Structure 1
Amino acid sequence: MASKRDWLDAGLVLLAEHGVPSVTIERLTERLGLSKGSFYHHFKGVTGYRTALLEHFEAERTTRFVEQAEQAEGDRLRTLMDLVLAPGPGLELEIAVRAWALQDAEARAVQERIDRTRVDYLTEICGDPDLAQALYLVVVGAGQVLPPLPGKQLKSALELVLGRRR
């Protein structure tokens, strides 16, 4: 039987690949090769699942990043940049959640909280609210241009803003 986390991780993949309309019980059960009964063992329905999915997204893409940066020895900002730029569905997932937030009040509230948390943390580690905002806007904007900015170019843009361009 799949764990609750397995269901949520599968939902993040679907969300990143195809957007929130793809996050259905049928698509999830198909992806995991499990029955609807297994889904209902963990969630009351798709609405409850989507709430849990937003919480999971926040935990994985914000809370975990902050915790890992805090535990790292050395430059917290560099550690945070490495986490943000790590291979995987990062930008695609961020785009999908932002698109969801434009159409759903609950997703919007979560996205607003995530944005505040991220900018506040950046401000704490940079010591400069304007720099923190600029760094965050570069990351968000990199995912919004088409095609999204690849990780190497995003890293260069961030380093340019930081004045660390080599």
Structure 2
Amino acid sequence: MTRQTRLSKSDWLTAGFSALIQDGPAALKAEPLARRLNTTKGSFYWHFDDVPAYHGALLDTWEAEALSPLAKILEEEPNSGAKLRRLGQQITDYSSPVTDHENPEPAVRAWAQGDDKVAQRVEKVDGLRLNLLTELLRDSGITNPDWARVILGSTIGIQSLPGKARDTIGPMGSLVDLVLALR
């Protein structure tokens, strides 16, 4: 008799991000997730009080992963222009250690279209991103806050493009260079 390894909270979150990316938010329920993991719903409820608590844990994880690259970029880059350029290129383009595959950002944004709590969380993360972009633009001599929205919106839009067109490095670097040339 083989004994199955006990699933962790992280296993459930990884499965949830995969389900969200592949099948959308309707797959974020105990039963479909348990089938995906070939286990019982009891394991789900061992880690989460209910489905809304699970959704909250997914969003907490997404938020932490979405914001953690920002601090790293701020530490690594030498000046406001370099920070702004790299943030423009990577602000919504990060690899997710929890999902083990593609960036969950587009799937979370799609989920937000039909769920007010998710929309509020996305708005919070975007607000923090916009504040940071606005501050870096201001430090670079650009005072029009609309440029921060243009940079963030462009990065989000590029993420919805198919395949290689999704690459943000070249286009976002060019956009940031263009904005910085307005000084």
TM-score normalised according to structure 1 size: 0.79
Kindly indicate whether the alpha-carbon contact (under 8 Å) linking 2:84 and 2:176 is maintained by their aligned counterparts in 1.
Answer: no
Amino acid at match of 1:163: D
1:143 aligns with 2:159: yes
> Aligned to 2:8, which of 3, 6, 9?
3
Q: Deviations over 1:86-118 (max 9, x none)?
A: 56422xx22222222121111111111111111
Aligned residues: 159
TM-score for both structures, normalised by structure 2? 0.73
Question: Structure 2 stretches of 5 or more lacking a match?
Answer: 1-5, 96-100, 179-183
Q: Distance in 2 between matches of 1:12 and 1:41?
A: 19
Moved more, 5-14 or 73-82: 73-82
CA shift in 2, pair 1:99/1:77, >3 Å: same
- Structure showing greater Rg: 2
Partner residue, 2:117: 106
Q: Tell me the equivalent position of 2:69.
A: 65
Structure-2 separation of matches of 1:41 and 1:70: 38
AA partner of residue 109 (structure 2): R
For structure 1, the 5+ residue unaligned runs are none
Percentage of pairs with the same residue = 32
Are positions 1:89 and 2:96 aligned together? Answer: no
Q: Which residue of 2 aligns with 1:159?
A: 173
The alpha-carbon deviation at position 23 of structure 1 amounts to 1.5
RMSD of Structure 2 on Structure 1 (CA): 2.5
Between Structure 1 and Structure 2, which shows a larger proportion of helix residues? 1
